[in-house]
């Protein structure tokens, strides 16, 4: 039986993935209160008091008001940072932002409800070194990996691999260059590239290149799994499929039982109800773990395959089957 109460959606204003979830909850007549952290404190008002063992109060935006005691679950979908009056000094803004994080954010985290995903657990899970270790512990096959700022160590790693090496950023690197949007994706690097002095300027992640028959995006929600093969038909897309969505074709697939078991173990050990997993499938059919995104997009997979991922997310938020 689903719980009564609202689903609090915390997300940026323009988020098509979040829109899918809100539309489905509306279709189910589940009450939704959507807000962005950027609305606080200018247009989002908070008033809460501790009564007994729970917080009571309201969150209001001038159009609607949310009873905090009636929140059944929270969908946390990359909200943007709080915004403050333009006239604030940098020093005051820094203090205000810190207080908003620990006060407003802390109050929300104290609500006794389900989160998808829990922001603290999701933040921890973003660390690729942690993901890779947990995936290996869970029995998933992980490519040989080096983290270093030492060009000599990078060269030694390439010599040990004896084949192509891939550089990957630890986190999303996006920005603008000459007025155009730019991003850093995984790239194959030559042995000579690893002698570059730039390697010494920060941490770098290098992995052995894994031969690909295709890649798989496996989206896991509350113990349910939705997997789709991604076949890229361009050179850039075959190295990192995120660099060329236009070249893709998709096909629904099922993970091997040992992979499915490993995925569930990873989610359990990271404390996550949701994860977007990326795998390489070799020409021999072996599934190799690349990474898991605790709040990854899934809409493009659902649109191409009709896998019911939105419905599974809404089931979790609504409390169906729990």
CATH value at residue 204:
3.30.1490
In a domain, 77, yes or no: yes
Q: Are both 216 and 201 inside the same structural domain?
A: no
In a domain, 321, yes or no: no
**Residues paired with 188 in a beta bridge:** 166
Q: Are both 13 and 110 inside the same structural domain?
A: yes
Find tokens 């207080």 and name the residue: 99
Confidence check: pLDDT of 185 > 80: no
Q: What share of the chain is helix, strand, coil (3-state, %, to 5)?
A: 35, 30, 30
User: Over the stretch 93-111, which tens digit does the pLDDT of each residue have?
Assistant: 999 999 999 999 999 999 9
Q: Which helix (H) or strand (E) holds 123?
A: helix 119-125
CATH number of the domain residue 292 falls in:
3.30.470.20
pLDDT class for 261, splitting at 50, 70, 90? Answer: very high
In a domain, 316, yes or no: no
In a domain, 322, yes or no: no
Average pLDDT for 235-264: 81
In a domain, 188, yes or no: yes
pLDDT of residue 243: 58
Q: Percentage of the chain with pLDDT > 70?
A: 89
Q: Is there a cis peptide before residue 284, judged by omega within 30 degrees of 0?
A: no
In a domain, 293, yes or no: yes
Domain that holds residue 240: 124-128+211-308
User: What is the value of pTM for the model shown?
Assistant: 0.89
Which of residues 231 and 226 earns the better pLDDT score?
Answer: 226
pLDDT of residue 2: 47
Which of residues 91 and 176 earns the better pLDDT score?
Answer: 91
Confidence check: pLDDT of 245 > 70: no
How many domains does one find in the chain? 3
Q: Percentage of the chain with pLDDT > 90?
A: 73
Confidence check: pLDDT of 314 > 90: yes
Q: Are both 76 and 159 inside the same structural domain?
A: no
Query: What is the residue-wise DSSP string for 254-286?
Result: ---HHHHHHHHHHHHHHT-SEEEEEEEE-TT--
pLDDT of residue 47: 96
């Amino acid at each position: 039986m689903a719980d009564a109460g609202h689903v609090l959606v915390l997300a940026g204003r323009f988020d098509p993935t979040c829109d899918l979830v809100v539309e489905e909850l509306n279709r189910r007549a589940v009450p939704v209160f959507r807000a962005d952290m950027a609305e606080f404190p200018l247009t989002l008002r908070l008033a809460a008091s501790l009564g007994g063992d729970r917080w009571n109060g309201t969150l209001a935006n001038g159009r609607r008001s949310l009873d905090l005691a009636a929140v059944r679950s929270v969908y946390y979908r990359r909200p943007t940072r709080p915004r403050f009056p333009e006239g604030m000094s940098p020093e005051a803004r820094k203090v205000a932002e810190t207080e908003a994080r620990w006060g407003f954010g802390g109050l929300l985290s104290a609500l006794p409800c389900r989160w998808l995903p829990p922001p603290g657990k999701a933040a921890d899970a973003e660390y690729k070194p942690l993901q890779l270790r947990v995936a290996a512990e869970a029995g998933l096959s992980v490519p040989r990996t080096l983290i270093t700022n030492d060009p000599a160590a990078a060269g030694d790693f390439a010599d040990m691999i004896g084949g192509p090496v891939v550089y990957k950023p630890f986190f999303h690197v996006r920005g603008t260059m000459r007025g155009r949007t730019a991003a850093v994706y995984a790239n194959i690097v030559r042995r000579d590239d690893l002698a570059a002095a730039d390697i010494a300027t920060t941490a770098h992640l290098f992995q052995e290149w894994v031969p690909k028959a295709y890649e798989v995006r496996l989206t896991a929600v509350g113990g349910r799994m939705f997997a789709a093969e991604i076949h890229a038909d361009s050179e850039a897309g075959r190295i990192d499929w995120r660099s060329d969505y236009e070249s893709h074709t998709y096909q629904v697939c099922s993970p091997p039982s040992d992979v499915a078991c490993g995925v569930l173990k990873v989610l359990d050990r990271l404390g996550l109800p949701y994860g977007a997993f990326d795998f390489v499938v070799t020409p021999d059919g072996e599934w190799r773990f690349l990474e898991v995104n605790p709040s990854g997009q899934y809409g493009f997979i659902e649109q191409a395959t009709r896998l019911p991922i939105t419905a599974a997310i809404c089931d979790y938020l609504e409390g169906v089957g729990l």
